[in-house]
Structure 1
């Protein structure tokens, strides 16, 4: 795993210069067993509900904005999850030894998973791959993550500032430290039946 957060002295300035993104996460590894990729989710799960939330009408508006940004997002009282291949900005699948370095520029290539992830012999473009996994077509095609391949996922986003725990939505700015009830943020992937694919905790001392 490699994570860069905007504003930290250890993060390359070129990664964020002239870009809105607040963090860039790279995850690379192999699945231990075959898993249908449409069944792998990423997002947040909490042991306890958020506390001291804004008014219900504002929460409904925030949920509406979140679903506009990610139509496949599923929101519940203690979780916020979306299909990983509909969320990641880049996904690369390679034979062992041919995977890109974590510091390489993001590459898109999922052709080893399924013919539907190829277009005229070339990798399916990112926007088409994300639409595919956000639709019922992914369930019909059922691309499978195989243990003999190496998977590299890139995620970046501009709403959540991990350095300050501030969530800046288009309509409201939220200080997550006041709502998490002492819980860490998660960098999480799991299957629909609850099995962990990876799980890392993002903690800030000011939140506890």
Structure 2
């Protein structure tokens, strides 16, 4: 079996202690909705799964966006700190936010839902765009601040798929990617500097608006310039920052304003599907009732700059619930170390797609 050299595997710190579980339960009903199986469900989700009525009433139907209960400490977005209330500002306005790590402004646009801005996605392939303008409350290492996806629920994955995941991660992700496929959570995390399509670093009072921000990281990385001293274009900056030696001496510090934009065109939040080439995957089944996330995380400290959960009606009450038992049975059938359960070719394309969904596209 091929040796993994580029994917870095780190120990995790649990965010599901008794107090955290009690806090999450207090926000919601304290129990999963009637008829929802709790097998493999993370305890923090038991009391915060949206009801059918909540989806039907959501201004973002068929999705509902909430603060994540997996955050240590409080997070407030658009005046909302609840784990169960819909964040109404999605698709409609720039929102103030604050977490244990950062504070500033946040705009989230999601395609193909009830609240999608008319014309915003015209001429663009992307399914979601996130714009963040923030100051840091404390210093964060460049290789630790990441965007990505976490899976906090238990999932029965065959051995061959775990092997394929690790080997594919070494090829499909940037060399600075962090990957964890054992235990909870499992995750794919890409450093912000190597993943975001736009980054601007400014002094307070000189920062651009979210709409007018231009690529420029010279205040943070003075060597990230072309031969004329101008800021590197976004794609060149991403490649330059994917070399650890280029960024190891830098960090995110209080006293500067950081503007980030990232988007992707592989995971459709409105339809809850992942499409990569010939592969079209129903995420409502694959995610085992755990919602997709929009997350920026300081991985080393297990704290979040911000994190929201994007629930989809089908995830809880549609194909996801109906396909759960079938998915578990298929995983058991594919549990051999060879190419069973669809063969490593399928897994390779699946997880390569998950890697690419973290960034890229128009």
C-alpha distance after superposition, 1:81-134 (max 9, x if no partner): 1111111000111122222223x1452111111212233332222122111221
Structure 1 residues 61 and 29: alpha-carbon distance in aligned structure 2, compared to 1, 3 A threshold: closer
Structure 1 residues 199 and 47: alpha-carbon distance in aligned structure 2, compared to 1, 3 A threshold: same
TM-score normalised according to structure 2 size = 0.51
Structure 1 residues 177 and 54: alpha-carbon distance in aligned structure 2, compared to 1, 3 A threshold: farther
> Aligned ranges for residues 18-37 of structure 1 at < 5 Å?
18-37=123-142
Structure 2: give runs of 5+ residues left out of the alignment. Answer: 1-105, 317-362
> Aligned ranges for residues 8-19 of structure 1 at < 5 Å?
8-19=113-124
Q: Who wins on radius of gyration, i.e. which is larger?
A: 2
Q: Which residue of 2 aligns with 1:60?
A: 164
Contact 1:73 1:80 in 2 (8 A): yes
Q: Which residue of 2 aligns with 1:129?
A: 237
Q: The residue matched to 2:223 in structure 1 has which SS? A: helix
> Aligned ranges for residues 39-188 of structure 1 at < 5 Å?
39-50=144-155, 56=160, 60=164, 64=168, 67-68=171-172, 70=174, 72-77=176-181, 78-102=186-210, 104-119=211-226, 120-140=228-248, 142-188=249-295
Figure out how many residues of one structure are paired with residues of the other and give that number: 205
TM-score normalised according to structure 1 size = 0.84
Q: Which has a greater percent of strand?
A: 1
Q: The residue matched to 1:128 in structure 2 has which SS? A: helix
Q: Root-mean-square deviation (CA), in Å? A: 2.8
Q: The residue matched to 1:203 in structure 2 has which SS? A: strand
C-alpha distance after superposition, 1:133-158 (max 9, x if no partner): 21122344x22212111111101111
